[in-house]
Amino acid sequence: MSAVTVDQLNDGGRQSAEDQARAAELKRLERRDGWRRRIPILPALIYTILVTQIPFLFTLFYSLTDWRIDTPDPRQFIWFENYGSLSGDTFFLDSAWVSVQMTVMAVLGSLIVGTGLAILLDRKFFGQGFVRTLLITPFLVMPVVAGLMWKLQMFNSTFGIIGWVMNQLGLEPVEFATRFPLASVVVVLIWQWSPFMMLIVLAGLQGQDQSVLEAARVDGATSWGTFRQITLPQLRPFLELGTLLGAIYLIQVYDHIEVIVGGQPGARNLPFYIAGRSIGGGNRFGLSSAYSIVVVLASIIIANIGLRVLSNLLEDDS
């Protein structure tokens, strides 16, 4: 009996050794396979690291110094002093508030206008393709060109179309960009970003199951009821996506502000303010670097929360 048991044990030992060898081999193969999949994206990854992460590390380093290029003093390492001065800088806080206002208004505005346009486009009519192309064009215009167009041809009190219309109506023309700098920039942003939102929402509308809409009609829903209770809930992931992408781009707006209002305090957002404090003439590179780091961290946190919310929603629907 015992001999058999010993034999079995021996056998078992041999087996586990074999198992281990097989597991190691499997692991090696898996690793090789992993590399085979990784290698094709490696050049892109290296490039991305070179152009984004290395400058980021430099910025991180500068933010810990008092570097300014308009004085001959040597660059000194001052640890977190720059970050400490942040809360006392009312200009920074003002710019942050402008950034929030500008982003929220532009995203919501373009979302509403874009959804409206998408609904109008989501039906068959003669020349549909042509109209769609025309509606997309604002999104294809360069930001600087869009800014100049609106500044000179729309907002200008002497030559602008809005001024002319007000004149025709017997009203006194107003220099919009000066009187309402934030609103002026937001209007141009909405004009430029509505087509983007329109495309996203249109994709959602056209992906709708027609028979679901028909079922709602048979169930007794009015057109508005069908839109509110059936279409809108189904569009939610598309609206969320539009909001997220729009916010990521619109929080970085610079060109429009530069061209239309040229940095008036009422329409100066964070990117504009930080640029002004550094390469725009302020030359406070250390301080600006600290501000940039704060903005990047805040953006990453907000974008992460947004993305998580979005993916939860999408999971729910599937």
Q: Give the burial class of 117: count Cβ atoms within 10 A of its Cβ; 0-12 exposed, 13-18 middle, 19 or more buried.
A: buried
User: CA gyration radius for the chain?
Assistant: 29
Closest contact distance (angstroms) between CB of 108 and other proteins is: 22
| Closest CA relative to residue 155, chosen from 262, 252, 251 | 262
Residue 294 Cβ, how far from other proteins at the closest point, in Å?
Answer: 39
The distance of closest approach from Cβ of residue 216 to other proteins in the complex, given in angstroms and rounded to an integer, is: 7
What count of Cα atoms within 13 Å lies in the side-chain half-sphere of residue 17?
6
β-strand partners of 105:
none
Cβ atoms within 10 Å of 156's Cβ, excluding its own: 18
Q: Is 16 in the site for other proteins (CB under 8 A)?
A: no
**Residues numbered 232-261 forming contacts with other proteins, rule: CB under 8 A:** 233-234, 236
Determine which residue in the list 7, 30, 70, 317 makes contact with other proteins, applying CB under 8 A: 317
Cβ proximity to other proteins, 16 vs 311, nearer residue: 311
CA 183 to chain centre: 20
Contact 107, 189 (CB under 8 A): no
- Contact between 127 and other proteins per CB under 8 A: no
Q: How many residues bind other proteins (CB under 8 A)?
A: 20
What SS3 class is residue 65?
strand
Q: Cβ distance 52 to 292 under 8 Å?
A: no
Nearest approach in angstroms of CB 242 to other proteins is 18
User: Which of 230, 239, 247, 251 is close enough to bind other proteins by CB under 8 A?
Assistant: 230
CB 317 to other proteins: min, Å: 7
Site for other proteins in 196-225 (CB under 8 A): 209, 211-212, 214-222, 225
User: What are the tokens at 244?
Assistant: 């997220």
Q: CB of residue 122 vs other proteins: minimum separation in angstroms?
A: 18
Q: Does 311 bind other proteins (CB under 8 A)?
A: no
Residues found near other proteins in the complex (CB under 8 A): 209, 211-212, 214-222, 225, 229-230, 233-234, 236, 317-318
